[in-house]
Amino acid sequence: MAENRTPRDLETREKQTRYVYKPSSALPDPTPQAGVAFRYIATHILGQADPTNVSRKMRDGWEPVKAADHPELMIQGNVSGNVEIGGLLLCRMPEDKLAAMTEYYDNVNKQQAESVDNNFLRQNDPRMPLFAERKSAVTRGAGFGSGTK
């Protein structure tokens, strides 16, 4: 019953590619464009139109994206001419304008945090000082292969 077999360590298999599942996004991404930022803006919330949100975003500088400009996002039944999916309208803005807006809101956030700290520390008493440190640090222990035992 001796069969001529090749030892297993001499056998080679072609490298098989393994498919890794990735769930699809609820909102498709438009083709990236240099200098342009994209964002979906809510036009409807819980089935009710929200024109206040849309008009505010338009005043902030967001512009609706035309479906003809992004044919990869075309969905049948879209009659508005814009890219709108499930009550969300795809809009665009120049990245430099978005950076200025982000910087403004970061500054507002910083001022509000400082105001809260100042209000909190106003009640400070030297006999029982309040602790209000807003610094944090992340440290990691020595891992495998770091040479320490």
In tens, the pLDDT along 46-104 reads 889 999 999 999 999 999 998 888 877 776 656 678 888 888 899 999 999 999 999 99
Task: Give the pLDDT score at 70.
Answer: 81
1 pLDDT above the threshold of 70: no
Nearest residue to 85 via CA among 16, 131, 38, 124 = 38
Strands 44-45 and 84-85: unpaired
Distance CA 65, CA 40 (A): 10
Q: What is the pLDDT of residue 135?
A: 65
Inform me whether the pLDDT recorded for 9 exceeds 80.
no
**pLDDT number for residue 54:** 93
134 pLDDT band, cuts 50/70/90, is low
- Look at 97-101, 124-128, 131-135 and tell me which has the smallest mean pLDDT: 131-135
User: Dihedral of CA 79/66/38/50: which sign?
Assistant: negative
Note the pLDDT of residue 124.
72
In angstroms, the Cα distances linking 54 to 22, 30, 39, 58, 97 are 32, 20, 12, 6, 18
